[in-house]
Chain A
Amino acid sequence: MISESVTTLVDELSKLPGIGKKSAERLAYHLLRVHESEALALADAIRSVKENVRYCRSCYNLTEHDECEICRDSKRDTTQLCVVEQPRDLIALEQPGTYRGLYHVLLGRIAPLDGIGPEHLTIDALVERVRGGTFSEVIMATNPTLEGDGTALYISNLLADMPVSITRLARGITSGSVLEFANKEILADALAGRQKL
Protein backbone atom coordinates (compact mmCIF):
# COMPACT_ATOMS: atom_id res chain seq x y z
CA MET A 1 0.00 0.00 0.00
CA ILE A 2 2.94 2.34 0.75
CA SER A 3 5.40 3.28 -1.98
CA GLU A 4 8.64 1.33 -2.17
CA SER A 5 10.72 4.48 -1.55
CA VAL A 6 8.91 5.22 1.70
CA THR A 7 9.29 1.61 2.83
CA THR A 8 13.03 1.78 2.09
CA LEU A 9 13.35 5.05 4.02
CA VAL A 10 11.48 3.57 7.02
CA ASP A 11 13.70 0.48 6.91
CA GLU A 12 16.87 2.58 6.80
CA LEU A 13 15.74 4.92 9.59
CA SER A 14 14.76 1.99 11.81
CA LYS A 15 18.38 0.78 11.65
CA LEU A 16 19.45 3.85 13.67
CA PRO A 17 20.08 3.26 17.38
CA GLY A 18 17.02 3.86 19.55
CA ILE A 19 14.70 4.17 16.53
CA GLY A 20 11.97 1.56 16.27
CA LYS A 21 9.56 0.93 13.42
CA LYS A 22 6.97 3.45 14.70
CA SER A 23 9.54 6.22 15.23
CA ALA A 24 11.02 5.49 11.81
CA GLU A 25 7.58 5.87 10.21
CA ARG A 26 7.03 9.18 12.05
CA LEU A 27 10.40 10.50 10.86
CA ALA A 28 9.75 9.32 7.30
CA TYR A 29 6.37 11.11 7.17
CA HIS A 30 7.98 14.23 8.63
CA LEU A 31 10.59 14.18 5.84
CA LEU A 32 7.82 13.76 3.28
CA ARG A 33 5.97 16.75 4.74
CA VAL A 34 8.85 19.27 4.97
CA HIS A 35 10.19 21.33 2.07
CA GLU A 36 12.39 19.44 -0.39
CA SER A 37 15.45 21.60 0.40
CA GLU A 38 15.17 20.79 4.12
CA ALA A 39 14.96 17.04 3.52
CA LEU A 40 17.81 17.08 1.01
CA ALA A 41 19.96 19.14 3.42
CA LEU A 42 19.79 16.16 5.78
CA ALA A 43 20.74 13.78 2.97
CA ASP A 44 23.66 16.07 2.00
CA ALA A 45 24.84 16.27 5.62
CA ILE A 46 24.90 12.47 5.89
CA ARG A 47 26.73 12.17 2.57
CA SER A 48 29.25 14.86 3.57
CA VAL A 49 30.00 13.18 6.91
CA LYS A 50 30.55 9.80 5.28
CA GLU A 51 32.70 11.21 2.48
CA ASN A 52 34.82 13.71 4.43
CA VAL A 53 35.14 12.60 8.03
CA ARG A 54 37.90 10.14 8.87
CA TYR A 55 40.12 9.24 11.80
CA CYS A 56 43.12 11.43 12.64
CA ARG A 57 46.29 9.57 11.63
CA SER A 58 47.90 10.37 15.03
CA CYS A 59 45.19 10.19 17.65
CA TYR A 60 42.16 8.58 15.90
CA ASN A 61 39.89 11.51 16.73
CA LEU A 62 37.35 12.38 14.05
CA THR A 63 38.60 14.93 11.53
CA GLU A 64 38.18 16.16 7.99
CA HIS A 65 41.96 16.42 7.50
CA ASP A 66 44.86 14.01 7.89
CA GLU A 67 45.36 15.28 11.43
CA CYS A 68 42.72 16.63 13.79
CA GLU A 69 42.59 20.21 15.07
CA ILE A 70 44.06 19.22 18.44
CA CYS A 71 47.06 17.38 16.97
CA ARG A 72 47.73 20.33 14.63
CA ASP A 73 47.56 22.90 17.46
CA SER A 74 51.17 23.89 18.29
CA LYS A 75 50.06 25.40 21.62
CA ARG A 76 49.05 21.99 23.06
CA ASP A 77 51.28 20.40 25.70
CA THR A 78 53.09 17.55 23.95
CA THR A 79 54.26 15.99 27.22
CA GLN A 80 50.78 14.84 28.26
CA LEU A 81 48.69 12.21 26.50
CA CYS A 82 45.13 11.46 27.55
CA VAL A 83 43.75 8.05 26.48
CA VAL A 84 39.97 7.87 25.93
CA GLU A 85 37.60 5.20 24.62
CA GLN A 86 35.59 7.20 22.07
CA PRO A 87 35.72 10.58 20.29
CA ARG A 88 32.69 11.66 22.35
CA ASP A 89 34.78 11.18 25.53
CA LEU A 90 37.40 13.51 24.05
CA ILE A 91 34.70 16.11 23.40
CA ALA A 92 33.53 15.79 27.02
CA LEU A 93 37.09 16.27 28.35
CA GLU A 94 37.62 19.31 26.12
CA GLN A 95 34.54 21.06 27.51
CA PRO A 96 36.07 22.23 30.84
CA GLY A 97 38.98 23.74 28.86
CA THR A 98 41.51 22.85 31.57
CA TYR A 99 43.41 20.07 29.81
CA ARG A 100 45.91 21.30 27.23
CA GLY A 101 47.67 18.06 26.33
CA LEU A 102 47.10 15.64 23.45
CA TYR A 103 44.71 12.69 23.17
CA HIS A 104 44.62 9.13 21.92
CA VAL A 105 41.26 7.57 21.05
CA LEU A 106 41.11 3.78 21.45
CA LEU A 107 37.84 3.43 19.48
CA GLY A 108 36.41 1.09 22.12
CA ARG A 109 37.41 -0.89 25.19
CA ILE A 110 38.62 -4.42 25.69
CA ALA A 111 35.44 -6.45 26.18
CA PRO A 112 36.25 -10.17 25.76
CA LEU A 113 32.66 -11.18 26.52
CA ASP A 114 31.59 -9.18 23.45
CA GLY A 115 34.46 -10.60 21.38
CA ILE A 116 36.44 -7.33 21.47
CA GLY A 117 40.15 -7.83 22.08
CA PRO A 118 43.14 -5.44 22.03
CA GLU A 119 43.65 -6.19 18.34
CA HIS A 120 40.32 -4.47 17.57
CA LEU A 121 41.45 -1.19 19.16
CA THR A 122 44.21 1.33 18.42
CA ILE A 123 46.43 0.06 21.24
CA ASP A 124 49.39 -0.85 18.98
CA ALA A 125 49.36 2.69 17.56
CA LEU A 126 49.22 4.09 21.11
CA VAL A 127 52.26 2.07 22.21
CA GLU A 128 54.22 3.19 19.13
CA ARG A 129 53.18 6.78 19.76
CA VAL A 130 54.36 6.71 23.37
CA ARG A 131 57.58 4.94 22.40
CA GLY A 132 58.47 7.51 19.77
CA GLY A 133 56.92 10.58 21.37
CA THR A 134 57.79 13.28 23.86
CA PHE A 135 55.28 12.26 26.49
CA SER A 136 56.15 12.24 30.18
CA GLU A 137 52.62 11.39 31.39
CA VAL A 138 49.90 9.14 30.01
CA ILE A 139 46.49 9.80 31.58
CA MET A 140 44.15 6.81 31.40
CA ALA A 141 40.69 8.31 30.94
CA THR A 142 38.78 5.18 30.02
CA ASN A 143 35.34 4.85 31.60
CA PRO A 144 35.33 3.94 35.31
CA THR A 145 33.69 0.56 34.62
CA LEU A 146 35.19 -2.90 35.04
CA GLU A 147 35.92 -3.09 31.29
CA GLY A 148 37.28 0.48 31.23
CA ASP A 149 39.55 -0.25 34.20
CA GLY A 150 40.61 -3.56 32.59
CA THR A 151 41.55 -1.74 29.39
CA ALA A 152 43.55 0.85 31.35
CA LEU A 153 45.28 -1.95 33.23
CA TYR A 154 46.16 -3.81 30.03
CA ILE A 155 47.64 -0.66 28.48
CA SER A 156 49.53 0.33 31.63
CA ASN A 157 51.17 -3.13 31.61
CA LEU A 158 52.30 -2.54 28.01
CA LEU A 159 53.72 0.87 28.89
CA ALA A 160 55.28 -0.22 32.18
CA ASP A 161 58.83 -0.33 30.82
CA MET A 162 58.66 3.07 29.15
CA PRO A 163 59.85 6.28 30.85
CA VAL A 164 56.36 7.75 31.33
CA SER A 165 54.23 8.16 34.41
CA ILE A 166 50.83 6.51 34.01
CA THR A 167 47.93 8.13 35.85
CA ARG A 168 44.20 7.45 36.10
CA LEU A 169 41.38 9.98 36.32
CA ALA A 170 40.30 10.64 39.93
CA ARG A 171 36.99 9.23 41.10
CA GLY A 172 34.79 9.78 44.10
CA ILE A 173 32.31 12.27 45.52
CA THR A 174 30.59 14.70 43.16
CA SER A 175 31.20 18.37 43.96
CA GLY A 176 28.13 19.93 45.53
CA SER A 177 26.78 16.63 46.88
CA VAL A 178 26.74 15.47 50.52
CA LEU A 179 28.69 12.60 52.07
CA GLU A 180 25.60 11.17 53.75
CA PHE A 181 24.10 10.02 50.46
CA ALA A 182 27.26 8.75 48.80
CA ASN A 183 27.47 4.94 48.60
CA LYS A 184 30.31 3.05 50.26
CA GLU A 185 32.17 2.35 47.00
CA ILE A 186 32.22 6.04 46.10
CA LEU A 187 33.44 6.93 49.60
CA ALA A 188 36.15 4.24 49.41
CA ASP A 189 37.29 5.60 46.02
CA ALA A 190 37.30 9.16 47.37
CA LEU A 191 39.36 8.17 50.40
CA ALA A 192 41.82 6.21 48.28
CA GLY A 193 42.25 9.14 45.89
CA ARG A 194 42.40 11.90 48.54
CA GLN A 195 44.60 14.92 47.80
CA LYS A 196 46.90 17.07 49.90
CA LEU A 197 45.48 20.54 50.60
Chain B
Amino acid sequence: MSSEKATAIVLRVIEFSETSSVVTLFTREFGKVRGLAKGARRPKGPFESALDLLALCRIVFLRKSSDSLDLLTEAKLERRFRPAGGNLSKLYAAYYVAELLNELTDDYDPHPGLFDAADATLVSFASAGEDVASALVHFELTALRETGHLPTLAACAACGRDVEATGRVPFSQRAGGVLCKSCRSGQKQIISVSSSVIAALARMAGEDRPSSSGGGLDARTYGELRGVLNHYWTHLMGRPARMQRWLPTPVDGTSRTD
Protein backbone atom coordinates (compact mmCIF):
# COMPACT_ATOMS: atom_id res chain seq x y z
CA MET B 1 0.00 0.00 0.00
CA SER B 2 1.36 3.38 -0.99
CA SER B 3 0.52 6.61 0.80
CA GLU B 4 -0.77 9.37 -1.50
CA LYS B 5 -1.68 13.02 -1.05
CA ALA B 6 -4.29 14.85 -3.10
CA THR B 7 -6.68 17.78 -3.26
CA ALA B 8 -10.23 16.50 -3.30
CA ILE B 9 -13.87 17.47 -3.55
CA VAL B 10 -16.18 15.29 -1.44
CA LEU B 11 -18.86 13.77 -3.70
CA ARG B 12 -20.60 11.35 -1.41
CA VAL B 13 -20.51 10.36 2.26
CA ILE B 14 -22.15 7.16 3.47
CA GLU B 15 -22.38 6.28 7.14
CA PHE B 16 -20.52 3.01 7.61
CA SER B 17 -20.59 2.52 11.36
CA GLU B 18 -21.11 4.58 14.51
CA THR B 19 -18.07 6.72 13.76
CA SER B 20 -16.78 5.77 10.29
CA SER B 21 -17.82 6.74 6.76
CA VAL B 22 -17.27 5.49 3.25
CA VAL B 23 -16.48 8.53 1.13
CA THR B 24 -16.26 9.13 -2.60
CA LEU B 25 -13.87 11.91 -3.53
CA PHE B 26 -12.94 13.52 -6.81
CA THR B 27 -9.24 14.32 -6.63
CA ARG B 28 -7.25 16.55 -8.94
CA GLU B 29 -4.32 14.17 -9.01
CA PHE B 30 -5.93 10.71 -9.21
CA GLY B 31 -9.51 11.20 -10.35
CA LYS B 32 -12.24 9.47 -8.39
CA VAL B 33 -11.17 7.73 -5.19
CA ARG B 34 -13.37 5.73 -2.82
CA GLY B 35 -12.16 5.10 0.69
CA LEU B 36 -12.99 4.18 4.24
CA ALA B 37 -12.49 7.00 6.73
CA LYS B 38 -12.32 5.42 10.19
CA GLY B 39 -13.49 7.81 12.88
CA ALA B 40 -14.55 10.45 10.35
CA ARG B 41 -17.79 11.20 12.19
CA ARG B 42 -16.01 12.08 15.42
CA PRO B 43 -15.46 15.84 15.82
CA LYS B 44 -11.87 15.22 16.97
CA GLY B 45 -9.35 13.18 15.06
CA PRO B 46 -7.47 13.20 11.77
CA PHE B 47 -10.51 14.32 9.74
CA GLU B 48 -11.76 17.28 11.84
CA SER B 49 -15.23 17.07 10.26
CA ALA B 50 -13.64 17.92 6.89
CA LEU B 51 -15.48 15.17 5.01
CA ASP B 52 -18.71 17.05 4.43
CA LEU B 53 -20.44 16.94 1.04
CA LEU B 54 -18.77 19.20 -1.59
CA ALA B 55 -16.06 20.34 0.81
CA LEU B 56 -12.63 20.94 -0.71
CA CYS B 57 -9.91 19.27 1.33
CA ARG B 58 -6.36 17.99 1.29
CA ILE B 59 -6.38 14.26 1.90
CA VAL B 60 -3.86 11.55 2.67
CA PHE B 61 -4.86 8.00 1.79
CA LEU B 62 -3.42 4.52 1.53
CA ARG B 63 -3.98 3.15 -1.93
CA LYS B 64 -5.04 -0.49 -1.91
CA SER B 65 -3.71 -2.71 -4.65
CA SER B 66 -6.81 -4.91 -4.65
CA ASP B 67 -10.38 -3.95 -5.50
CA SER B 68 -11.15 -3.07 -1.88
CA LEU B 69 -11.69 0.47 -0.64
CA ASP B 70 -8.72 2.75 -0.09
CA LEU B 71 -8.05 3.86 3.46
CA LEU B 72 -8.24 7.57 4.22
CA THR B 73 -5.88 8.52 7.00
CA GLU B 74 -6.17 12.31 7.06
CA ALA B 75 -8.29 15.15 5.69
CA LYS B 76 -7.68 18.84 6.19
CA LEU B 77 -10.49 21.18 5.29
CA GLU B 78 -9.60 23.84 2.73
CA ARG B 79 -13.07 25.20 2.07
CA ARG B 80 -16.54 24.13 3.13
CA PHE B 81 -19.26 24.63 0.50
CA ARG B 82 -22.19 26.82 1.50
CA PRO B 83 -24.50 28.38 -1.13
CA ALA B 84 -24.40 32.17 -1.19
CA GLY B 85 -27.30 33.90 0.53
CA GLY B 86 -28.87 30.59 1.53
CA ASN B 87 -30.02 30.11 -2.07
CA LEU B 88 -31.52 26.63 -2.51
CA SER B 89 -31.13 26.79 -6.33
CA LYS B 90 -27.38 27.11 -5.85
CA LEU B 91 -27.35 24.26 -3.33
CA TYR B 92 -29.21 21.90 -5.66
CA ALA B 93 -27.07 22.94 -8.63
CA ALA B 94 -23.98 22.11 -6.53
CA TYR B 95 -25.43 18.68 -5.68
CA TYR B 96 -25.92 18.17 -9.43
CA VAL B 97 -22.24 18.97 -10.01
CA ALA B 98 -21.38 16.24 -7.49
CA GLU B 99 -23.71 13.76 -9.18
CA LEU B 100 -22.25 14.43 -12.64
CA LEU B 101 -18.67 14.09 -11.37
CA ASN B 102 -19.55 10.81 -9.70
CA GLU B 103 -21.39 9.39 -12.72
CA LEU B 104 -19.10 10.67 -15.43
CA THR B 105 -15.70 9.67 -14.10
CA ASP B 106 -14.02 6.36 -13.34
CA ASP B 107 -11.82 5.47 -10.39
CA TYR B 108 -8.22 6.56 -10.84
CA ASP B 109 -8.87 8.37 -14.12
CA PRO B 110 -7.65 11.93 -13.46
CA HIS B 111 -9.21 14.94 -15.18
CA PRO B 112 -7.46 18.02 -13.74
CA GLY B 113 -9.36 20.33 -16.11
CA LEU B 114 -12.67 18.93 -14.95
CA PHE B 115 -11.59 19.24 -11.32
CA ASP B 116 -10.69 22.91 -11.83
CA ALA B 117 -14.00 23.58 -13.61
CA ALA B 118 -15.96 21.91 -10.79
CA ASP B 119 -14.03 23.84 -8.16
CA ALA B 120 -14.60 27.15 -9.99
CA THR B 121 -18.32 26.36 -10.38
CA LEU B 122 -18.70 25.58 -6.68
CA VAL B 123 -16.86 28.81 -5.80
CA SER B 124 -19.25 30.72 -8.06
CA PHE B 125 -22.28 29.12 -6.34
CA ALA B 126 -20.82 30.22 -3.02
CA SER B 127 -20.53 33.81 -4.29
CA ALA B 128 -23.31 36.36 -4.50
CA GLY B 129 -24.64 37.48 -7.86
CA GLU B 130 -23.79 34.47 -10.01
CA ASP B 131 -26.37 33.34 -12.59
CA VAL B 132 -26.98 29.74 -11.46
CA ALA B 133 -28.41 28.46 -14.75
CA SER B 134 -25.62 29.81 -16.95
CA ALA B 135 -22.86 28.68 -14.57
CA LEU B 136 -24.40 25.21 -14.43
CA VAL B 137 -24.78 24.85 -18.20
CA HIS B 138 -21.21 26.04 -18.64
CA PHE B 139 -19.99 23.38 -16.20
CA GLU B 140 -22.02 20.67 -17.93
CA LEU B 141 -20.50 21.54 -21.29
CA THR B 142 -17.00 21.62 -19.79
CA ALA B 143 -17.63 18.22 -18.19
CA LEU B 144 -18.81 16.81 -21.54
CA ARG B 145 -15.76 18.22 -23.33
CA GLU B 146 -13.28 16.98 -20.70
CA THR B 147 -14.68 13.46 -20.82
CA GLY B 148 -14.98 13.33 -24.61
CA HIS B 149 -18.77 13.42 -24.76
CA LEU B 150 -19.32 16.97 -26.05
CA PRO B 151 -21.87 16.72 -28.88
CA THR B 152 -20.92 18.12 -32.28
CA LEU B 153 -22.84 21.35 -32.76
CA ALA B 154 -21.66 22.71 -36.13
CA ALA B 155 -20.93 19.65 -38.29
CA CYS B 156 -23.17 16.63 -38.85
CA ALA B 157 -22.39 13.93 -36.26
CA ALA B 158 -22.90 11.24 -38.93
CA CYS B 159 -21.19 12.54 -42.11
CA GLY B 160 -19.14 15.54 -40.88
CA ARG B 161 -20.63 18.06 -43.31
CA ASP B 162 -21.57 21.54 -42.05
CA VAL B 163 -25.16 21.77 -40.81
CA GLU B 164 -27.21 24.78 -41.79
CA ALA B 165 -28.24 26.37 -38.46
CA THR B 166 -31.63 27.81 -39.34
CA GLY B 167 -35.09 26.99 -38.03
CA ARG B 168 -35.07 23.70 -36.16
CA VAL B 169 -32.13 21.32 -36.25
CA PRO B 170 -32.28 17.53 -35.69
CA PHE B 171 -30.16 16.46 -32.70
CA SER B 172 -29.27 12.81 -32.23
CA GLN B 173 -28.25 11.61 -28.78
CA ARG B 174 -27.06 8.30 -30.18
CA ALA B 175 -24.95 9.87 -32.97
CA GLY B 176 -23.70 12.53 -30.53
CA GLY B 177 -24.78 15.83 -32.05
CA VAL B 178 -26.65 17.65 -34.80
CA LEU B 179 -27.48 15.94 -38.10
CA CYS B 180 -27.74 17.22 -41.65
CA LYS B 181 -30.99 16.71 -43.58
CA SER B 182 -29.67 13.77 -45.57
CA CYS B 183 -28.45 11.88 -42.49
CA ARG B 184 -31.58 12.53 -40.47
CA SER B 185 -33.70 9.83 -42.07
CA GLY B 186 -33.38 6.41 -40.51
CA GLN B 187 -31.82 7.73 -37.29
CA LYS B 188 -33.47 6.94 -33.94
CA GLN B 189 -33.69 8.98 -30.71
CA ILE B 190 -33.76 12.32 -32.48
CA ILE B 191 -35.07 15.53 -30.97
CA SER B 192 -35.74 18.73 -32.84
CA VAL B 193 -33.87 21.70 -31.37
CA SER B 194 -34.15 25.35 -32.34
CA SER B 195 -31.07 26.78 -34.05
CA SER B 196 -30.83 29.53 -31.39
CA VAL B 197 -30.33 26.87 -28.69
CA ILE B 198 -27.68 25.09 -30.79
CA ALA B 199 -25.96 28.47 -31.22
CA ALA B 200 -26.14 29.15 -27.47
CA LEU B 201 -24.69 25.71 -26.72
CA ALA B 202 -21.87 26.23 -29.24
CA ARG B 203 -21.09 29.68 -27.83
CA MET B 204 -21.03 28.47 -24.20
CA ALA B 205 -19.00 25.37 -25.08
CA GLY B 206 -16.33 27.63 -26.55
CA GLU B 207 -16.07 29.91 -23.52
CA ASP B 208 -13.41 29.25 -20.88
CA ARG B 209 -15.64 30.65 -18.17
CA PRO B 210 -19.30 31.69 -17.93
CA SER B 211 -20.00 35.05 -19.45
CA SER B 212 -19.86 37.79 -16.80
CA SER B 213 -23.03 39.30 -18.25
CA GLY B 214 -24.99 36.32 -16.93
CA GLY B 215 -24.71 34.19 -20.02
CA GLY B 216 -27.46 36.00 -21.88
CA LEU B 217 -29.84 33.05 -21.60
CA ASP B 218 -33.46 34.10 -21.69
CA ALA B 219 -36.02 31.87 -19.97
CA ARG B 220 -37.22 30.28 -23.22
CA THR B 221 -33.73 29.45 -24.48
CA TYR B 222 -32.72 28.08 -21.07
CA GLY B 223 -35.86 25.94 -20.89
CA GLU B 224 -35.19 24.29 -24.24
CA LEU B 225 -31.47 24.02 -23.57
CA ARG B 226 -32.17 22.36 -20.20
CA GLY B 227 -34.39 19.86 -21.97
CA VAL B 228 -31.68 19.01 -24.54
CA LEU B 229 -29.04 18.55 -21.85
CA ASN B 230 -31.36 16.48 -19.66
CA HIS B 231 -32.07 14.14 -22.59
CA TYR B 232 -28.39 13.89 -23.43
CA TRP B 233 -27.35 13.13 -19.83
CA THR B 234 -30.11 10.52 -19.56
CA HIS B 235 -28.73 8.87 -22.70
CA LEU B 236 -25.13 8.94 -21.40
CA MET B 237 -25.96 7.76 -17.88
CA GLY B 238 -28.63 5.27 -18.89
CA ARG B 239 -31.14 6.91 -16.53
CA PRO B 240 -32.23 10.43 -15.61
CA ALA B 241 -29.97 12.22 -13.16
CA ARG B 242 -31.34 12.18 -9.60
CA MET B 243 -30.94 15.94 -9.33
CA GLN B 244 -32.77 16.64 -12.59
CA ARG B 245 -36.06 17.57 -10.94
CA TRP B 246 -34.27 19.92 -8.53
CA LEU B 247 -32.49 21.99 -11.17
CA PRO B 248 -33.29 25.66 -11.85
CA THR B 249 -36.47 25.88 -13.90
CA PRO B 250 -36.86 28.22 -16.89
CA VAL B 251 -38.83 30.52 -14.60
CA ASP B 252 -36.34 30.83 -11.75
CA GLY B 253 -33.16 29.79 -13.53
CA THR B 254 -32.41 33.04 -15.22
CA SER B 255 -33.99 35.43 -12.79
CA ARG B 256 -32.44 34.38 -9.49
CA THR B 257 -28.94 35.62 -9.00
CA ASP B 258 -28.73 35.28 -5.23
Which residues of A are interface residues toward B (Cβ below 8 A)? 17-18, 112-113, 115, 145-147, 149-150, 153-154, 156-157, 174, 183-185
Contacts and interface: CB of A to CB of B under 8 A. Distances in A.
Contacts of A146: 52-55, 80-82, 91
Given A18-B17, A146-B52, A113 B12 contact: yes
Nearest to A17: B17
B245 to A, nearest CB: 8
B108 interface: no
Q: Categorize the interface residue count of chain B.
A: 20 to 34
Contacts of B79: 185
Instruction: Give the top 8 A-B pairs by smallest Cβ distance, nearest first.
Output: A146-B53, A18-B17, A153-B86, A185-B80, A150-B91, A145-B52, A112-B246, A146-B52
B92 interface: yes
B48 interface: yes
Interface string B240-251: 001100100000
Given A112-B242, A113-B242, 15 more contacts: A18-B18, A112-B92, A112-B95, A112-B243, A112-B246, A113-B53, A113-B98, A113-B99, A113-B243, A145-B52, A146-B81, A153-B86, A157-B88, A174-B43, A184-B77
Interface in B64-95: 76-77, 79-82, 86, 88, 91-92, 95
B77 A183 contact: yes
Nearest to A189: B80
Contacts, number: 46
Contacts of B92: 112
Contacts of A149: 82
Contacts of A150: 88, 91
B81 A185 contact: no
A150 B83 CA distance: 9
Nearest to A181: B48
Contacts of A112: 92, 95, 242-243, 246
Contacts of A156: 86
A149 B18 CA distance: 21
Contacts of A18: 16-18
Contacts of A145: 52-53
Contacts of A115: 242
Contacts of B52: 145-146
B48 A183 contact: yes
Contacts of A153: 86, 88, 91
Nearest to B54: A146
Nearest to A184: B77
A138 to B, nearest CB: 16
Contacts of B53: 113, 145-147
B42 to A, nearest CB: 12
Interface string B161-187: 000000000000000000000000000
A154 B82 CA distance: 14
A2 B17 CA distance: 29
Contacts of B48: 183
Contacts of B43: 174
B34 to A, nearest CB: 15
20 contacts: A18-B16, A18-B18, A112-B95, A112-B246, A113-B53, A113-B242, A113-B243, A145-B52, A145-B53, A146-B53, A147-B53, A149-B82, A150-B88, A150-B91, A153-B91, A156-B86, A157-B88, A174-B43, A183-B48, A184-B77
Contacts of B246: 112
Nearest to A185: B80
